Amino acid sequence: MKLINVEIKAICKNLGRIRKVLEEENARFKGIDHQIDTYFNTDNGRLKLRQGNIENFLISYHRKDKTEAKLSNVILYDTTKQGHVLKELLTKHYGIKCVIDKKREIYYIKNIKIHLDQVKELGTFVEIEAKSDKKIDEERLRKQVEYYMEKFGIEKEDLVKVSYSDMLLKNRR
């Protein structure tokens, strides 16, 4: 499945405020997923295998590392049945870059997906993703993300421009 995605990731300073806004906006709570994201070495973009209780995908994506809302071109491949075999194959051929261990609360408001993440070794984060599998105007998706940034009280200095894998690798150096 191909998607376009405008997203931000930010350090989460006020979980209580965000949860209150989610309740006020009648967000649909999908659940808490313990996810292991295995990032593989690639020459182009990012490739990760997500293994969780709720979400199981091989995810290929390309996006620029910048703090503001950024466009990603994403390809998702459902690995619910054979994720362990796929991990073995990808590890053998590409090698593992790093592994991210997180607990993720997943919420939906229409085409907006919100994650509240507790990431081992990194801390607490919020992600806002405005997604579409159709040709929706990128600017509309960007405005949706900015709307929730404001509602959640996310400041520019809270924004993170890189992936969890980049953050973890930097912390380990």
Which token pair is 162?
Answer: 């890189």
Interval 98-115: pLDDT, tens:
999 999 999 999 999 999
- Is residue 134 pLDDT above 80, yes or no? no
Residue 81 vs residue 13, higher pLDDT: 13
Determine the average pLDDT of the residues in 17-31: 97
Residue 28 vs residue 84, higher pLDDT: 28
Cβ–Cβ under 8 Å, residues 56 and 38? no
What are the CA-CA distances from residue 161 to residues 8, 48, 69, 150 (Å)?
8, 18, 9, 18
3-state secondary structure of 52: coil
**pLDDT on residue 173:** 75
Dihedral (CA of 98, 31, 60, 112) sign: negative
Query: What homologous superfamily is domain 2-33+59-78+104-172 in, according to CATH?
Result: Hypothetical Protein Pfu-838710-001 (2.40.320.10)
- Is residue 135 pLDDT above 70, yes or no? no
- Is residue 136 pLDDT above 80, yes or no? no
Residue 64 vs residue 124, higher pLDDT: 124
Mean pLDDT, the chain, integer:
93
> What are the structural domain ranges in the chain?
2-33+59-78+104-172
Give dist(CA 111, CA 116) in Å, integer.
17
**pLDDT on residue 143:** 95
Interval 49-83: pLDDT, tens:
999 999 999 999 988 888 888 888 889 999 988 87
Give dist(CA 28, CA 147) in Å, integer.
18
Which token pair is 40?
Answer: 């593989």
Give dist(CA 124, CA 54) in Å, integer.
20
